[in-house]
Amino acid sequence: MLGLMLLGHGFEDNEALTTRDVLLRAKINVYTTSLDDSKVVVSSHGLAVMSDLNLKQAVNLDYDFIILPGGLKGVNNILASKEALSLIEKMNAHHKLIFAICAAPSILIKLGLLKGVPFTCFPGFENGNEETYLKDEGVVASERFITAKSMYYSIDFALAIIEKLLGKEKRAQVLKSLKGE
């Protein structure tokens, strides 16, 4: 199981780092990827993070899933990257799993990937998809997409990804470990 997390400058710290941490505890490999030649990406709160790869390196690998953390500036930087958008579309065309939290589902909406698909996101980023927008849900899972409403749901988002990839038993095992039980 191999995943890719796109980190645009301005990504939301918790949505990216907590999600990755919880997935690693489940033994799910997730490469973090910057959008430019530098591997250093600065979060919305000014934390400099060294990504595993840059986008040029990342496009040559085969992934089972992709994760898009929120953070308005990070989302806008992903939207401004033709290479990043192309990669997301390629993942979709190959029926790979796509996970997005907070403002990041708006990327999927702009690409037309959430038409008719139940989803949630940070209020105000549903962009005309109100018919399938589940505003009161913290995390929404469908066949190939998992979306989450906000940073508050980062652990639930990661646990939903674990359940999708490895099943309910593994999710329960990781949750128990997170709680110190």
Residue 154 and residue 175 in contact, taking contact as beta carbons nearer than 8 Å: no
Amino acid symbol at 51: S
**Whole-model pTM above 0.75?**
yes
Given the structure tokens 């990216």, which residue do they identify?
16
As for how many domains the chain has, the answer is: 1
Task: Kindly list the catalytic residues.
Answer: 102
**Nearest by Cα to 125 from 142, 109, 145, 141:** 109
**Nearest by Cα to 143 from 164, 125, 158, 159:** 164
* Residue numbers of the domain that contains 26: 2-179
Residue 130: the pLDDT is 83
What are 63-93's pLDDT values in tens digits?
Answer: 999 999 999 999 999 999 999 999 999 999 9
Residue 2 and residue 64 in contact, taking contact as beta carbons nearer than 8 Å: yes
CATH number at residue 131: 3.40.50.880
Question: Could you say which residues of the chain have pLDDT below 70?
Answer: none
